[in-house]
Chains A and B, each alone.
Chain A
Amino acid sequence: MSERDASKEASQSFRVPGMGSIDTTRTITFTFDGRIYEGHPGDTLASALLANGVRLVGRSFKYHRPRGILSAGSEEPNALVELRTGNRREPNTKATTVELYDGLEASSQNRWPSLAFDVLSINQLAGSVLSAGFYYKTFMWPAAFWEKLYEPVIRRAAGLGRAASEADPDSYDKVTAHCDVLVIGGGPAGLAAALSAASAGARVIIADENPELGGRCLAEKRTIDEMPSAVWAKHAQEKLRSTNEVRVLTRTTVFGVYDGRTYGALERVSDHLPVPPQHQPRQRLWRIIAKRVVLASGATERPMVFGENDRPGVMLAGAVRTYINRFGVVPGRHAAVFANNDDAITTIADIQRAGAEVVAYVDSRKELSPAVLAVLSEAGVDAILGGHVESTTGTRHITGATVRTADGEIRNLPCDLIAMSGGWNPNLQLATHLNARPHWNETIAAFVPSALPPGMAVAGAANGLLTLAEALASGAQLGIEAAHEAGRPAVEARSYSTTPEASSIAPLWRVPETKGKAFVDFQHDVTTDDVVLAHREGFAAVEHLKRYTTLGMGTDQGKTSNVNALAIMAALTESTIPAVGTTTARPPYTPVAIGALGGAHRGRDFKPERLPPSYKWAREQGAVFTQAGLWLRPQYFPRPGERDWQETVFREVDTTRNAVGICDVSTLGKIDVQGRDAIKFLESIYINNWGSLAVGRARYGVMLREDGMVLDDGTTARLGEHHFLMTTTTGNAAKVLQHLEFCRQCLWPDLDVQLAPVTDQWAQFSMAGPKSRDLLRKIVDSEFDISDAAFPYMAAGEVAICGGLKARLFRLSFSGERAYEIAVPSRYGDALIRRLMTATEEFDGTAYGTEAMGVMRIEKGHLGAAEMNGTTTAYDLGLGRMMSDRKDFIGRTLGSRSGLMDPDRPRLVGLRPINPKHKISAGAHLLPQKAHRTAANDEGHVTSAAFSPILGHTIALGLLKRGPERVGEIVGVCDPVRGRDILAKVVSPEFFDPSGEKLRG
């Protein structure tokens, strides 16, 4: 038949009335490349296209050859389309798995200007140039051309589909499920396994990638317990759905096996609908933890490798049967069947029953069993035994097959469909995800699972048991065993009756003499010649073969190509298939959208947020927030009329230094330390002494890691004889608690010490500045004396505020000003900040954020995360004098290693620009004034820098080789990133009030 006849077919003219199990009473419409077609609910896009006589569905990856539909499942390498439009557009969707819905819009990809006429199909003519390794060889030189020229050109020419350019409008969900028995695959073996396990009362999850359970029960015309297999499957599904403790997950692919008996599965909740219903996710990621697993993932049919075997109209025989039996669609009028095994024989009867003609049955085997011969003769088909299809004819779909008979005679058979079968490969990918190597089974000429992940058993075709009877029996038995091993009572496996079937095979990995390109991997356009070339150039090892030719990569991961390719390589190397081995299958089994892996955690919810107690108030003030770990902290509080953040920050600093400023410091880590040995514990944690700390006083402390580097700093207050409150920096709160718990539990388990994290318990506000005590007086109840005599610098104690609310008061300062910190239970934090801000009006005070806090701490030379960066010692940071030599503490021994005591180490200094107009930035390098600006002359770097409104110029802290000895020296500050190179004077890191007068008042 000619191509023009095919294109004139009327709507759904390939639909066979009375066949298939889909609902033909309702008709829905869809478009493909803008043209409107009709189909039925239950169709896939592929079955609906075939029903309408559409064979040409896409263009191939490299050669832009016309491609059609090869399979009827998720192994499809060819029929990749762009589904939907706008921000829901999804490329590389398999037409064979897309469920048809009313109004579906799909378009072909990889073609320009149109599918039928594609300019780049010229690549076919350049085939000998575009062979395997072409890119590696050709675009190697010059290297600079790669990024700017070669790659963009290649990407445009070779890309597979276009992703949506806008944000994904849909939502995704993640769920964890636990079960006794997970059954992967809902074909006959899976159904039998699930029914068995359920009968034992097990918690069962059965997952299948199709919208209905049944697998090949729906695709073949077989009998189970005197029922058509499709009817049996329907009953089995209904029974499972109505059984307690059984969860049926359809449209769900188990895509990966992970440690701890954890399985990843993707449920396509709404992909069969135009858009997800309100409040429903598009897809749901299941994390399934299963005590036992029955893998019943079935098998995938192998193509035959012959010339021009990629033309539309060449299909897998099992897929032809699926389209006929499940969808009532016959993919051609005149079919040839080409096989090397008995299973394909049933295709003949199915095609004939669908009213089409079988022009020939070609089998590469010379001798067939009497039973099979009987089937052939009953069908009245021209059987060509010991023959091969060598090539095909046609352009956009096949018009004929060129067959060589056993006698060497060439026959041209006009046909519009070739149903081919090279045998079946068990879908054993999931059995190998934890690194097992499969085992070669000669009888079925395929790999079968060998060592299995813990708790997994394999049933049916996935284990090489290719007949229906074996699938049902193995499934039923393994389901019982799995349930029993998971702790359910032992029950008897039931048996199922089926009609007998033949399944022998004699492999043919490639047709010996072919004309034209013989494709092994359809998706990546890898031909037998490419495999030969890879062998010739030394890429014979199976992993090299894959990388050199790209065979087995891509969205189908070589499900139809891998075994053929390595069998061909085995022949080339005169080796055996098990000796050649297979590549490693890794998760995911089929592609998983990144959105599903993210689930709800995207955008603002990527990580949970921690909100400090004054958050609500600060937002009302229009504060600008910054992320500090998971915390959202006010960075600054802009006021109307302020031009930029700098002006705001200057005002906040200025007001604090001259009146009073208020800052939420609740984010600092707070750890409650109690116990008779608490002092001993602190002595061992901190480098400085604690024995002399009186109740009601606080002290600054520094702790080291075991290796001698500074871990964290902060103040700890003594609230009672055996009760302390430790504070940590905001960023190190969790790390310090972990460190303390490790020390308490593992290093000194006999110490009587109890730790409790109480960061969230307290809302704590700092009031800093000359007016801070006056402000404090406004809220602290009058019976409490907060005069400097009664409550001096570093005092700590309990007070009551606002008429009786118990609070903790500390006189601490990070800014260098007179400052207090007041802490109340968190639920009062919002009310307290509002009260404080009202009270502060009479002093013209301000709230300040992290930016102003940073400026003031640099002015004071206080340390931050940039200085305590994990590579600095107490000595480096000018804290050497704090280290007690009368006690042992963590980090003491390793901290005194000679390298860490080296006087040449970079140590903390202050820096001020010689020219006050110059700016110093954090990260700039420090070098001798006149030294050549090279890494060899590098002497340190700037850790923190800020513009000081008090001093009127930039100030900075830095780590400089022998720094403190060089105070007064002028050094170069080189910032190649920002293109600055200036001079700065080395000074003491304390720029502001070095004597601490302001602090003490």
Chain B
Amino acid sequence: MVDQLITLPAFPAPSIERADQVRIVARENVQIVGITARERETESLVLAFRAVYGLDLPMKPARVEKDGLAVVWAGWHQWLLMSDVAAVPDLEQIMRADFGGYAAVVDHSDARAIVAVSGRRARDLLAKGVSIDLHPRVFTTGDAAATAISHVGMHIWQTDEKPTFELAVPRTYADSLWRWMERASAEYQNSDSLL
């Protein structure tokens, strides 16, 4: 019955395609839950999480994934958990039930907007807005970082070697970020782009 109210996507369009150079896809419908270990409960949380999901909560900026559940390090003893809406009906409730004793569980599904950037010019495009080094010798699949893009704070992680990067920004900045993506990627419409 919830579908009585229609949802508005975070981004103004589903994707931006720039020939064979770069592809920018809005990832709507991702459930995002933040968990922060309670004081002196980190160890219990890690053990419980491993027992239930077979995943080790990373203790450094990284992303791990198993059976459709992804975990991204998000700060000191903090993680973002992600799954597709279709795969798990209510991730927040499940997490609270499983780990509420060890962690504060907060729904961020509508707080963050996620965009996937992939293709052979993905790194060149991101270099226009991101100041950290995304070169494959430095940043690779499974790596994550908290940084900023074009003055907007964000989390970034790499999911494959295409390469694909996913960026999570506060939802209210999604429109600004999209406009930046549109313009910054415009030059890749010409396949002989100079950069």
User: Which residue of chain B is the closest to A824 with respect to CB atoms?
Assistant: B5
Set of chain B residues within 8 Å of A752, measured between Cβ atoms: 38-40
Q: Contact between A754 and B104 (Cβ–Cβ < 8 Å)?
A: yes
Q: Contact between A827 and B1 (Cβ–Cβ < 8 Å)?
A: no
Per the 8 Å Cβ criterion, residues 739-759 of A in contact with B are 750-759
A855 to chain B, nearest CB (A): 26
Q: Contact between A831 and B172 (Cβ–Cβ < 8 Å)?
A: no
Q: Contact between A284 and B111 (Cβ–Cβ < 8 Å)?
A: no
**Distance between Cα atoms of A250 and B55 in the complex (Å):** 48
Set of chain B residues within 8 Å of A835, measured between Cβ atoms: 5
The interface stretch among B62-70, B126-134, B158-166 is B126-134
> Is B60's beta carbon under 8 Å from chain A?
no
Q: Contact between A760 and B111 (Cβ–Cβ < 8 Å)?
A: yes
A175 partner, pick from B34, B127, B133, B137, beta carbons under 8 A? B127
> Is A269's beta carbon under 8 Å from chain B?
yes
User: Which residue of chain A is the closest to B126 with respect to CB atoms?
Assistant: A176
**Distance between Cα atoms of A830 and B112 in the complex (Å):** 17
**Distance between Cα atoms of A824 and B173 in the complex (Å):** 18
User: Which residue of chain B is the closest to A674 with respect to CB atoms?
Assistant: B104
A760 partner, pick from B104, B137, B150, B171, beta carbons under 8 A? B171
- Interface size class of chain B, counting residues whose CB lies under 8 Å from the partner chain: 35 or more
B6 partner, pick from A177, A612, A757, A831, beta carbons under 8 A? A831
Asked if A760 meets B170 with Cβ closer than 8 Å, knowing A280-B194, A676-B38, A831-B5, the reply is yes
> Is A640's beta carbon under 8 Å from chain B?
no
Set of chain A residues within 8 Å of B40, measured between Cβ atoms: 752
User: Which residue of chain A is the closest to B29 with respect to CB atoms?
Assistant: A827
Produce 1/0 per residue, B14-25, CB < 8 A to A: 000000000000
**Distance between Cα atoms of A352 and B193 in the complex (Å):** 44
Q: Is the interface of A mostly helix, strand, loop or mixed?
A: mixed
Q: Contact between B110 and A760 (Cβ–Cβ < 8 Å)?
A: yes
User: Which residue of chain B is the closest to A617 with respect to CB atoms?
Assistant: B8
**Distance between Cα atoms of A178 and B138 in the complex (Å):** 10
A398 to chain B, nearest CB (A): 42
Set of chain A residues within 8 Å of B103, measured between Cβ atoms: 754
Q: Contact between A600 and B184 (Cβ–Cβ < 8 Å)?
A: yes
B152 to chain A, nearest CB (A): 5
Set of chain A residues within 8 Å of B137, measured between Cβ atoms: 203
B125 to chain A, nearest CB (A): 10
Q: Contact between A600 and B183 (Cβ–Cβ < 8 Å)?
A: yes
Set of chain B residues within 8 Å of A611, measured between Cβ atoms: 172, 175-176
> Is A289's beta carbon under 8 Å from chain B?
yes
Q: Contact between A756 and B104 (Cβ–Cβ < 8 Å)?
A: yes
Produce 1/0 per residue, A603-633, CB < 8 A to B: 0010111111100100000000000000100
Asked if A831 meets B8 with Cβ closer than 8 Å, knowing A177-B127, A278-B190, A752-B39, the reply is yes
Q: Contact between B128 and A750 (Cβ–Cβ < 8 Å)?
A: no
> Is B50's beta carbon under 8 Å from chain A?
no
Asked if A175 meets B8 with Cβ closer than 8 Å, knowing A280-B194, A609-B175, the reply is no
**Distance between Cα atoms of A363 and B44 in the complex (Å):** 85
A612 to chain B, nearest CB (A): 7
**Distance between Cα atoms of A87 and B110 in the complex (Å):** 44
**Distance between Cα atoms of A825 and B91 in the complex (Å):** 14
**Distance between Cα atoms of A676 and B100 in the complex (Å):** 12
Set of chain A residues within 8 Å of B173, measured between Cβ atoms: 608-610
Q: Contact between A754 and B5 (Cβ–Cβ < 8 Å)?
A: no
> Is B2's beta carbon under 8 Å from chain A?
yes
Set of chain B residues within 8 Å of A605, measured between Cβ atoms: 176, 179-180
> Is B107's beta carbon under 8 Å from chain A?
yes
Set of chain A residues within 8 Å of B170, measured between Cβ atoms: 610, 759-760
Set of chain B residues within 8 Å of A278, measured between Cβ atoms: 189-190
User: Which residue of chain B is the closest to A599 with respect to CB atoms?
Assistant: B128
> Is B109's beta carbon under 8 Å from chain A?
yes
Q: Contact between A762 and B110 (Cβ–Cβ < 8 Å)?
A: yes
Asked if A609 meets B176 with Cβ closer than 8 Å, knowing A751-B39, A758-B111, A832-B5, the reply is yes
Asked if A608 meets B194 with Cβ closer than 8 Å, knowing A754-B36, A756-B34, the reply is no
A114 to chain B, nearest CB (A): 39
Set of chain A residues within 8 Å of B36, measured between Cβ atoms: 674, 754-756
Q: Contact between A675 and B111 (Cβ–Cβ < 8 Å)?
A: no
A978 to chain B, nearest CB (A): 36
**Distance between Cα atoms of A678 and B177 in the complex (Å):** 35
> Is A287's beta carbon under 8 Å from chain B?
yes
> Is B56's beta carbon under 8 Å from chain A?
no
Q: Contact between B128 and A173 (Cβ–Cβ < 8 Å)?
A: yes
Q: Contact between B39 and A675 (Cβ–Cβ < 8 Å)?
A: yes
**Distance between Cα atoms of A605 and B152 in the complex (Å):** 12
> Is A277's beta carbon under 8 Å from chain B?
yes
A608 partner, pick from B112, B130, B150, beta carbons under 8 A? B150
**Distance between Cα atoms of A805 and B36 in the complex (Å):** 26
> Is A884's beta carbon under 8 Å from chain B?
no
B65 to chain A, nearest CB (A): 22
Q: Contact between A804 and B1 (Cβ–Cβ < 8 Å)?
A: yes
User: Which residue of chain B is the closest to A609 with respect to CB atoms?
Assistant: B176
> Is B59's beta carbon under 8 Å from chain A?
no
A327 to chain B, nearest CB (A): 25
Q: Contact between B177 and A829 (Cβ–Cβ < 8 Å)?
A: no
**Which of A676, A750, A825 counts the most B-chain CB atoms under 10 A from its CB?**
A825
> Is A18's beta carbon under 8 Å from chain B?
no
**Distance between Cα atoms of A607 and B179 in the complex (Å):** 12
**Distance between Cα atoms of A526 and B193 in the complex (Å):** 45
Q: Contact between B176 and A829 (Cβ–Cβ < 8 Å)?
A: no
Set of chain B residues within 8 Å of A830, measured between Cβ atoms: 6, 8
**Distance between Cα atoms of A287 and B133 in the complex (Å):** 12
Q: Contact between B112 and A760 (Cβ–Cβ < 8 Å)?
A: yes
Q: Contact between A175 and B108 (Cβ–Cβ < 8 Å)?
A: no
Q: Contact between B194 and A269 (Cβ–Cβ < 8 Å)?
A: yes
Produce 1/0 per residue, B105-148, CB < 8 A to A: 01111111000000000000001101101010110000000000
Q: Contact between A600 and B150 (Cβ–Cβ < 8 Å)?
A: yes
Q: Contact between A176 and B194 (Cβ–Cβ < 8 Å)?
A: no
Set of chain A residues within 8 Å of B194, measured between Cβ atoms: 269, 280
A621 to chain B, nearest CB (A): 16
**Distance between Cα atoms of A177 and B128 in the complex (Å):** 9
A388 to chain B, nearest CB (A): 49
Asked if A826 meets B190 with Cβ closer than 8 Å, knowing A605-B179, A761-B108, the reply is no
> Is A281's beta carbon under 8 Å from chain B?
yes
Set of chain B residues within 8 Å of A952, measured between Cβ atoms: none
Q: Contact between A280 and B106 (Cβ–Cβ < 8 Å)?
A: no
B2 partner, pick from A610, A761, A805, beta carbons under 8 A? A805
**Distance between Cα atoms of A751 and B34 in the complex (Å):** 20
> Is A828's beta carbon under 8 Å from chain B?
yes
**Distance between Cα atoms of A890 and B83 in the complex (Å):** 40
Produce 1/0 per residue, A742-786, CB < 8 A to B: 000000001111111111111000000000000000000000000
Set of chain A residues within 8 Å of B189, measured between Cβ atoms: 278-279
B28 to chain A, nearest CB (A): 8
B44 to chain A, nearest CB (A): 13
> Is A802's beta carbon under 8 Å from chain B?
yes
B172 partner, pick from A607, A760, A805, beta carbons under 8 A? A760
> Is A271's beta carbon under 8 Å from chain B?
no
A751 to chain B, nearest CB (A): 7
Q: Contact between B152 and A176 (Cβ–Cβ < 8 Å)?
A: no
> Is A169's beta carbon under 8 Å from chain B?
no
> Is B10's beta carbon under 8 Å from chain A?
yes
> Is A981's beta carbon under 8 Å from chain B?
no
A717 to chain B, nearest CB (A): 15
Set of chain A residues within 8 Å of B108, measured between Cβ atoms: 756, 758, 761
A-B contact pairs, 11 of them (CB 8 A): A176-B128, A178-B133, A203-B137, A278-B189, A279-B189, A600-B184, A608-B150, A613-B8, A762-B110, A825-B109, A827-B9
A residues near B (Cβ < 8 Å) are 171, 173-178, 203, 269, 277-281, 284, 287, 289, 600-601, 605, 607-613, 616, 631, 672, 674-677, 750-762, 802-805, 824-832, 835
- CB-based closest 4 A-B pairs: A754-B104, A761-B111, A804-B1, A674-B104
Known: A284-B195, A754-B104, A826-B171. 11 other contacts (CB 8 A): A607-B151, A610-B176, A611-B175, A611-B176, A675-B39, A675-B104, A756-B34, A759-B170, A760-B172, A827-B9, A830-B8
